A and B are shown apart, each in its own frame.
Chain A
Amino acid sequence: MDIQDEIHDQLSRRTFLGQSSAGLGTIALASLLNPKNLFAGASAPGEMPELGKPHFAPKVKRVIYLFQSGAPSQLELFDYKPKLESMWGKDLPESVRKGQRLTGMTAGQSHFPLAASRYKFAQYGPSRMWISELLPYTSRIVNDLTFIRSMHTEAINHDPAVTFFQTGSQQAGRPSFGSWISYGLGSDNQNLPAFVVLLSKGRDGDQPLYAKLWSNGFLPSVHQGVVFRSGPDPVYYLNNPPGIDKASRRRMLDYLAKMHQEQYKHVLDPEINNRMAQYEMAYRMQTSVPETLDISKEPDYIFDMYGPESRKPGTFAANCLLARKLIEKDVKFVQLYHQGWDQHGNLPNDIKIQTKSVDQPSAALILDLKQRGLLDDTLVIWGGEFGRTNYSQGKLTKDNYGRDHHPRCFSIWMAGAGIKKGMVYGETDEFGYNIAKDPVHVHDFQATVLHLLGMDHEKLTFKHQGRRYRLTDVHGKVVKPLLA
């Protein structure tokens, strides 16, 4: 809701209803002035303010975004390029590169030796999709997956690229994907945040992640992503400190709410209501969070399915399991970040370690959602912020090489509701350097996900500093061929 609207709402309600002594006439007048109030119903104090609804009936009710931070190499995982084998070690032809921008890390190289994947590819499923041997588990679920091999982005370095994917702008400060969805759709479970973030690390020294990636930006602060940690204390400062019991916490919150209401009457700042809503949410979360994240009753074979690391809190596998638990409770947007894909050197060895901890839990999550009937209205997204170059960064040997950042083409996959299953969309050229067919820009991808959630990306706007903002800025087209 627009802040101006909210103030106007509050004003008309207070003036006409709260302090009215003239009876029905004023109620009629108030509802004439602002008809939506008549049936709005009294919301309990501190309850989340009335939020948006989808523009049209949604195919997708919830999203799990398995963000692979650091940019996984599409050439080792999804985009099979036999041409690179025959051209191994030769220079990337200028007719392919066309002088396009490189990062400072390889721009100074005198040669750009083409590097083929050290790992073999094979075809799977009825659609004969090429998948790398690094992903034995993913290759078993290709029938449920939809690949986009023609993603492209505008940024060439990690921070602007992740920020672009998550907020629609390379500069920091805009609301993130999950915040827009929380703002646009509201919550389907009043006891949990609509937007939850789970973090995991591949190894030390990875590209860092910042809280701005799950920030609400200029949207009301109730829409910001809440980070859940694995382990006994999932949300910082959620539990009562020693000496405070539930009843006294309740009393404290009640008095605090009274003070807030008093203050609100004077300054009419909607953020006061947001803050009250968040205190109440936190209070409810004291019960709902431990309940939701309790994995002690999960049978052993479920842990086995997600892989051995799923028993170790804070790993990608453990977070995949938690993501399922959150989705079961109708959390709208669960954002996982997994670090460790930035393989500029020693790529063949590093990517193997990385895929080992990511492949099995990703596939297990899809299977687990499916058997519980959740994949019917949940969308799972797997992908990084850009791709990697087809030439080696640094020295190319038979066994070892590195790859630099490559924004001009990369692959992601999606699984779940509303999209065609077992399909590959888009193509890159035979060098895997440029897109040959059906490019999908980051804004197109965002528009498509919003469309699946029942929202028109051009109508999901928020007015801030005199202009209306969108997740997709002034761009983005829904990729209709992907829709089921």
Chain B
Amino acid sequence: MNQFTLLLQATTSPSDWVLFFGHFHPLIVHLPIGFLLVAGILEAGRRLGKVSVSDSAITNVLFWSAVSATVACLFGYLLSLGGGYEQETLDSHMWQGIGVAVFAWIAWAVKSDYVGDRIPFGSALYLPALVVAIVLLGTAGHLGGSLTHGSDYLTQYTPEPFRTLAGIPPRTQEVAIKPITDVNQALVYEQIVNPILKTRCVQCHNAEKSKGDLRFDTAEMLKKGGENGPVFVAGKGTDSELVKRCLLPEEDDHHMPPKGKTQLTEGQIALLTWWIDQGAPFDKKVSELNVNDAIKPVLASLGTGAPAGGAGLAASGPAPVSPVLTMKLPTPDPKAVDELKQTGLLVLPLSKEQNQLEVSAVNAKAFNDAQAAVLPKLSNQIVWLKLGETAITDAALAQIAKLKNLQKLHLEQTKVTDAGLKQLKALPNLEYLNLYGTSITDAGLKELAGLKSLKTVYLWQTNVTEPALAELKKALPDVEFVGGISEQAVAEFTKAGAANAQPDEDKKN
């Protein structure tokens, strides 16, 4: 903090008053635009005989055009003292703006009763002055827009064939960023970092408008930094200005993007931090960097395909979210959803913004193997599947094995057996498996060793034995196996309660 307060004081920045009024320029500037155009329209209408309007009315409009144009010029100058604009465009904009004011004054003067009569050939000057003022208004306004939004803002989305007719080059930059298909293969700077900067920062940090003498439009400029020095320190994400500024409270003057502009999301900040932490490489792919558990879900949300690697890295903060819960999925086919509903299943989206689905057989006890054939039609979207207490057997598991994004699977109180569990190996994202009340034995349990994401398995009221479980626990130390209470255990449970009780129990009156 201290460091950059000092830096800011070192550069000579204009006083608050200057910038306060300066920031009113974009507001005030619209008044002369409106007034002058009205004056022009009235004048034209009057000359064509379409409008009946008195000279004094037009004079009055012209007077206010001239006044507001002058104030706009003054405020515009104050704003320019804040710096950060491309000098050449700024100069033209300024002189043209002053031109508008001057010609507006001339037009008013020759039109008015007091001054007009004392100027020889005054009436001959009127029309040219008004026309020049309006033309300059157009060009100055355009340059002003270019200064604020960038020079290609207006024509950025010109459609063909007008694009070629107007001689605008094809939208090269847009095409250059390839959409991410497989996150692992994505170029970290090109496809992840640069798009964030482009949408959130480049508007004010580009060739024409480089606030703080900082440009994010090319990799070279980003490396160079701005007037306060470099924006990132490779390997130190949270110490880098680029990230620090985003994390400051929005009310803070140094917060970026400035208050009122679209802010970076938590995920975008996390991605920038992660990229800098990894040394801010400009030519590496996601798969070449360390993907820790914290960044995994954020990366997964960028495209299809879960990011691999980094499983062993310690994650700080909250427990990692399964990538299948954050990845973008295609909209489910409404016909398939209807087919599922017709079998009595409930189909519920996980949330308003997601296409992930939970499918529940809570009221479909008769749901059977034949009906399970419908499930793979939504193989992308089904992440939670509740088939407890239904009529399914091992045959249905062959269909379930096709649900590659499945994270939670309820098979409790069904007729599934060891043989069926073999098929579940194909589920790379399965974390929760409920098998309580099934006839699973030790043999079936061993099949689970192949499930890489597995976190919790429920085995109450199955035929699994303690020794087999102990062995598997060694092989899968991160998996929690939840048993349950047996008749003997209950006896012990209630006894322990009594033993803990006070000796003077029930001495009530």
User: Which residues of A are in contact with B by a Cβ distance under 8 Å?
Assistant: 39, 41, 52-58, 119, 133, 136-137, 139-140, 188-191, 288, 299, 301-302, 304-305, 307, 329-330, 349, 352-353, 359-360, 364, 367-368, 370-373, 376-377, 454, 483-484
The answer to whether B485 and A330 have CB atoms under 8 Å apart is no
A136 and B500 contacting across the interface, CB-CB below 8 Å: yes
Docked Cα-Cα span, A328 to B319, in Å, equals 26
Q: Is B275 an interface residue (CB 8 A)?
A: no
In the bound assembly, the distance between CA atoms of A20 and B15 in angstroms comes to 67
Interface-central residue, B363, B434, B483, B509, by most chain A CB under 10 Å: B363
The proximity string for B residues 390-431 relative to A, scoring 1 for CB distances below 8 Å and 0 otherwise, is: 000000000000000000101010000000000000000000
Question: Are B497 and A376 in contact (CB-based, < 8 A)?
Answer: no
A67 to B414 alpha-carbon distance, docked (Å):
34
CB of B468 to closest CB in A, whole Å: 19
Nearest CB in chain B to that of A302: its residue: B490
Whole-angstrom CA separation of A136 from B501 in the bound complex: 7
Which B47-64 residues have a C-beta within 8 angstroms of A? none
Q: Residues of B contacting A137 with CB < 8 Å?
A: 493, 497
> Which residue of B334, B353, B482, B505 contacts A373 across the interface (Cβ within 8 Å)?
B482
Q: Evaluate contact between B458 and A373: CB separation under 8 angstroms.
A: yes
Tell me if B105 counts as interface (CB < 8 A to partner A): no
Evaluate contact between B318 and A484: CB separation under 8 angstroms.
Answer: yes
Closest to B338 in A: A41
A370 neighbours in B (Cβ, 8 Å): 482, 484
Known contacts A56-B354, A454-B351; 13 additional CB pairs below 8 A are: A53-B348, A55-B351, A56-B351, A57-B326, A136-B501, A190-B346, A301-B491, A304-B490, A360-B497, A372-B434, A372-B436, A454-B350, A483-B318
Rounded to whole Å, the gap between the CB of A482 and the closest CB of chain B is: 11
A371 near B412: Cβ-Cβ < 8 Å:
no
Proximity bits, B308-338, A CB within 8 Å = 1, else 0:
0000000000110100011000000010001
In the bound complex, residues from chain A placing their C-beta under 8 Å from that of B11 are none
Say whether A139 contacts B500, CB under 8 Å: yes
Task: Report the bound CA distance from A347 to B240 in whole Å.
Answer: 59
Question: Is B177 on the interface with A (CB-CB < 8 A)?
Answer: no
Could you list some 15 contacts between A and B, CB below 8 A?
A: A41-B338, A52-B352, A53-B349, A53-B352, A57-B351, A136-B498, A188-B348, A301-B487, A301-B490, A301-B491, A307-B494, A349-B509, A367-B493, A372-B484, A373-B458
Chain A contacts of B509 at CB under 8 A? 349
Residues of B contacting A302 with CB < 8 Å?
A: 490
Interface residues of B in 330-384 (CB under 8 A from A): 334, 338, 346, 348-354, 356, 360, 362-363
Q: Which residues of A contact B175 (CB under 8 A)?
A: none
| Min C-beta distance of A250 to chain B, whole Å | 18
Contacts of A56 in B (CB 8 A): 351, 353-354
Give the complex CA separation of A329 and B362 in angstroms. Answer: 6
Q: Inside 8 A of B363's CB, which chain A residues have their CB?
A: 189-191, 288
Measured CA separation A48–B249 after assembly (Å): 44
Contact between chains at B410 and A373 (CB < 8 Å): yes
Q: Which 4 A-B pairs have the closest CB atoms?
A: A371-B484, A136-B500, A373-B434, A373-B458
Q: How far is the CA of A52 from the CA of B349 in the complex (A)?
A: 11
Q: Are B362 and A330 in contact (CB under 8 A)?
A: yes
Q: Which of B325, B483, B502, B505 is close to A57, meaning CB atoms less than 8 Å apart?
A: B325
Closest to B483 in A: A371
Chain B interface size range: 35 or more
A-side binding surface: helix, strand, loop or mixed?
Answer: loop
Q: Give A376 to B410 CA distance when docked, in angstroms.
A: 12
Q: How far is the CA of A19 from the CA of B28 in the complex (A)?
A: 53
Q: How far is the CB of A351 from chain B (nearest CB, A)?
A: 11
Q: How far is the CA of A39 from the CA of B355 in the complex (A)?
A: 14
Chain A residue numbers with a CB within 8 Å of B321 are: 57
Question: Would B487 and A57 count as touching, CB distance under 8 A?
Answer: no
Do residues B338 and A372 form an inter-chain contact, with CB atoms below 8 A? no
A140:B346 contact, CB within 8 angstroms: no
| CB pair B456 A376 closer than 8 Å | yes
Residues from chain A with a CB closer than 8 A to the CB of B351 are 53-58, 454
Docked Cα-Cα span, A140 to B492, in Å, equals 12
- Which residues on the A side are within 8 Å of B456 (C-beta)? 373, 376
Q: Which residues of A contact B432 (CB under 8 A)?
A: 373, 376
Nearest CB to that of A454 among chain B residues?
A: B351
The residue among A41, A367, A368, A371 with the most chain B CB atoms within 10 A of its own CB is A371
- State whether the Cβ of B77 lies closer than 8 Å to any Cβ in chain A: no
CA–CA, A364 and B485, complex, Å: 10
A39, closest chain B residue (CB): B334
Decide: B508 and A349 in contact? CB cutoff 8 A. Answer: yes
Closest to A136 in B: B500
Q: Which of A140, A188, A307, A372 contacts B362 (CB 8 A)?
A: A188
Q: Report the separation of the CA atoms of residues A422 and B412 in the bound assembly, to the nearest whole angstrom.
A: 27
* Contact call B346/A188, Cβ cutoff below 8 A: yes
| A138 nearest CB across to chain B (Å) | 10
- Residues of chain B within 8 A (CB-CB) of A41 are 334, 338
Smallest CB separation, B486 vs chain A (Å):
8
- Judged by a CB distance under 8 angstroms, whether B126 is at the interface is no
A170→B360 CA distance, assembly (Å): 38
Interface: B124 (CB within 8 A): no
Tell me if B485 and A305 are in contact (CB < 8 A): yes
Known: A57-B325, A140-B496, A190-B346. A371 touches B334 (CB 8 A): no
Task: Assess whether B362 is in contact with A57, with CB atoms less than 8 Å apart.
Answer: no
Distance in angstroms from A257 CB to nearest chain B CB is 21
User: Across the interface, do B360 and A330 meet the contact criterion of CB distance under 8 Å?
Assistant: yes
Q: Which residue of A55, A288, A305 has the most chain B CB atoms within 10 A of its CB atom?
A: A305
Whether A136 touches B497, Cβ cut-off 8 Å, given contacts A188-B360, A371-B484, is yes
Question: How far, in Å, is A426 (CB) from chain B's closest CB?
Answer: 19
- Chain A residues whose CB sits within 8 angstroms of the CB of B434 once the complex forms: 372-373
Query: Which residue of chain A lies nearest to B341 when distances are taken between CB atoms in the complex?
Result: A41
